[in-house]
Structure 1
Amino acid sequence: MARLSFQVQHTDSTTSARAGVITTDHGQIETPIFMPVGTVGSVKAVAQQQLLNDVKAQIILGNTYHLYLRPGTDVLEQAGGLHRFNHWERPILTDSGGYQVFSLAGTRKIKEEGVTFQSHIDGSKHLFTPERVMDIQRSIGGDIIMAFDECPPGGSEYGYARKSMELTHRWLDRCVAQFNATPDKYGYTQNLFPIVQGATYKDLRKQSCEYIASKDAPGNAIGGLSVGEPEPVMYEICDWCCQLLPKDKPRYLMGVGTPWNILECIGMGVDMFDCVMPTRNGRNAMLFTTQGVINIDNKKWEYDFSPIDEELPCEMSRYYSKAYLRHLFKAGEILALTIASVHNLCFYLWLVGEARKHIIAGDYATWKNEMIIKLKTRL
């Protein structure tokens, strides 16, 4: 058992992009990386074999809030942790549930002790404290677990953002204490990542980055973005944080985003990304392709028998035609959701893989700028 390690292998000459390797007890992760979101222990409409063989996923996410509610920690502990429960033998990251609690604005109450909230399933009341969240994530068994934070809404006033950040820091101290006081449950090392907050205020972000960096965690996350702020502001904040966070630790930008968001933020020095966008958009008939964005519902694809994306190294994307996938959506066939989700995830993993190649080749900036123009094209 060993603490997570990170090695920077290549850096781009004209941007802050870097290619590296994260090593965990469940295997290595080549960065930059996109992590499919498996909220309740599964990526929606996608089987684990498809994640391995088609998507080529190196790490997936689980969510503390959802897994706590169902199946519950008793089931997960009896199974031997999430890896054994869902038969995923590669690394897993667990989100603390802070964002999900944030989204329950109508029922939550935030206090120094923690957050009380009502279940979205049955309305039952629950309390998440930093200590409880650490214990739940120990039971889930992720290789990387996240500190419990408060995620302030976009556009928060300075006073609220400062108090929220300070609360997040105090909660972090409690997370670290509880994490250090409890052993790994399943015979491999878990790793705690703290989360930078501070809304859109540069001085708060600087203070938060410095506080988080002082914990000497194996990796650090940037939270509180993509919650309503304009895209240029998101980029500015991300750039601020990457300049301040340690260069020898992986940087994880939480919940972001579009393919072009990811490429821009890789250029700032981000190593890890997650987002529900590829699967959510896929289930709603929006496909990301190497040539641009497709709304497969459109009539223009009715007689297009060409592959969904013949340039993507994904069997489903090359095997099925645009016309057939459109037909499946129009017919309400469940297979449509799987094909579209697998395709979009394949695209995201291909994209970060190509970014890695161009970082190593030394032409990342040129490739990125050309690729973003193409990716934003509406076909």
Structure 2
Amino acid sequence: MKFELQANDPASKARAGKISAGHGVIETPIFMPVGTVASVKGVHQRELREDINPDIILGNTYHLYLRPQTEILEKAGGLHKFMGWERNILTDSGGYQVYSLSANRKIKEEGVKFKSHIDGSYHFFSPESVMEIQRSIGADIIMAFDECTPYPCDYRYAQRSMHMTHRWLDRCVEHLKKVPAKYGYEQSLFPIVQGSVYKDLREQSAEYIAGVGADGNAIGGLSVGEPAEEMYAMTEVVCKILPEDKPRYLMGVGTPVNILENIALGVDMFDCVMPTRNARNGMLFTANGIINIKNKKWEDDFSPVDEMGVTFVDTQYSRAYLRHLFAANEYLGKQIATIHNLGFYLWLVREARKHILAGDFYAWKNAMVPKLGHRL
């Protein structure tokens, strides 16, 4: 994998770049739609490719390990062929899912024993097994196994967890050397910075992760309930240390405002379930603010879903029609809203990229942020 830094915004730390990976070029900043179980929920690959048009999507190691299981993925020739997606894929390590199963898992130095949310069966993830699973999945970018600490989290726990995450990373790196890639292209390992909301721990972790010399680096353990100001503060601390010639990925973030503010701090890559999950609940993100399409005010509004939108659904359907679909509990409504939201998120990061290249990102960001959070 290669990363080319193309431009820096003169008034912020925002940057535009280009990642060359196993399945094509990724222009940054980029938002990665979440395809947890080999599917971006409610969206055909054709719509994903032609209308939403991301350079890369995200899959989840924990879920793919449980279903359809690695044996099936290997028989298919890897996740790309299994799901019919020809562009890049990133898989997380399953660490966040294990974190979210706090009542059904036990963490030790060796790894994590957890209970499946599907059938209650017990399983064990170690740094070594997670590397092997991600080899079988075949994503272009794979994540090191880490522990995602909760918020709030006391200092001593965060410190112990961070050091264990570093030891797990060393085991991931060593084991990958023993297990070759399976599908004819290389996979890039991204280690993950941890340390909760403690500046000194974040600095220690960023230094350690930077020292590994990986193809790219990730920032984990944020967007888990802490105030946005804490998130931005920790991101700023870490981005000052992580190398400038490698892409930086902020995991699980976030709202459109979060994305723009973190781009301004030097982050290149994002993922979040928010655009798809909120779409299924009738929340639409637009450049002028947030629409709750279930509200009665849209009942006789026959204007386009979003006249400034970039996907076909934005002008093909009216707000009144979309509201009707939600009121009738028709699944098409959720699909339309999902395509719209993902299209908007990709528009947002690509518009940010244009302004970084033009040298006026910071002023554009400051003008956009108040509008993005406005309720229409």
Question: TM-score, with normalisation over the residues of structure 2?
Answer: 1.00
Aligned length: 376
Structure 1 stretches lacking a partner, 5+ long: none
Structure 2 distance, partners of 1:58, 1:307, is 27
Correspondence for 1:41: 38
Residue-by-residue CA offset, 1:279-332 (whole Å, 9 max, x unaligned): 000000000012110000000000000001111221111111100000000001
SS of 1:184 mapped into structure 2: coil
Match of 2:197 among 172, 195, 200: 200
For 1:185-224, list aligned pairs within 5 A.
Answer: 185-224=182-221
CA RMSD after TM alignment: 0.5
1:274 aligns with 2:271: yes
Is 1:153 matched with 2:156? no
Verify the 8 A CA contact 1:290 1:309 in the aligned structure 2: no
> Residues of 2 paired with 1:153 and 1:343: CA distance?
32
Q: Is the 8 A contact 1:131 1:175 kept in 2?
A: yes
Partner of 2:189, secondary structure, is strand
Does the aligned pair in 2 maintain the 1:36–1:61 contact within 8 Å?
yes
Give 1:240's aligned residue. Answer: 237
What percent of counterpart residues are identical? 66
Q: Give the letter aligned to residue 22 of structure 2.
A: D
Give the one of 241, 260, 265 matched to 1:263: 260
Q: Which residue of 2 aligns with 1:349?
A: 346
Please state how far the C-alpha of 1:255 moved relative to its aligned partner.
0.1
Q: What is the CA distance between 1:9 and its match in structure 2?
A: 0.4
Counting only pairs closer than 5 Å after superposition, residues 1-379 of structure 1 correspond to structure 2 as 4-379=1-376
Q: Which runs of 5+ in 2 are unaligned?
A: none
**Separation in structure 2 between the aligned mates of residue 221 and residue 318 of structure 1, nearest angstrom:** 37
- Secondary structure of the residue aligned to 1:214 is helix
Paired residue secondary structure (1:218)? coil
Contact 1:134 1:147 in 2 (8 A): yes
Post-superposition offset of 1:234: 0.5
Counterpart Cα distance in 2 of 1:228 and 1:322: 32
* Alpha-carbon distance in structure 2 between the residues aligned to 1:22 and 1:353: 15
Shift of 1:93: 0.1
- How far apart are the structure 1 equivalents of 2:103 and 2:276? 27
More deviation in 231-240 or 310-319? 310-319
Offset, 1:118: 0.1
Normalising by structure 1, we get a TM-score of 0.99
Which residue identity is paired with 1:25? G
Could you list the runs of 4 or more consecutive aligned residues of structure 1 that deviate by over 6 angstroms after TM superposition? none
Inter-partner Cα distance in structure 2 for 1:318 and 1:368: 26
Deviation at 1:180, TM superposition (A): 1.5
Alignment partners' CA distance in 2, 1:186 and 1:106: 37
Structure 1 residue 253 displacement after superposition: 0.1
1:210 to partner: Cα distance = 0.6
Q: Secondary structure at the match of 1:204?
A: helix
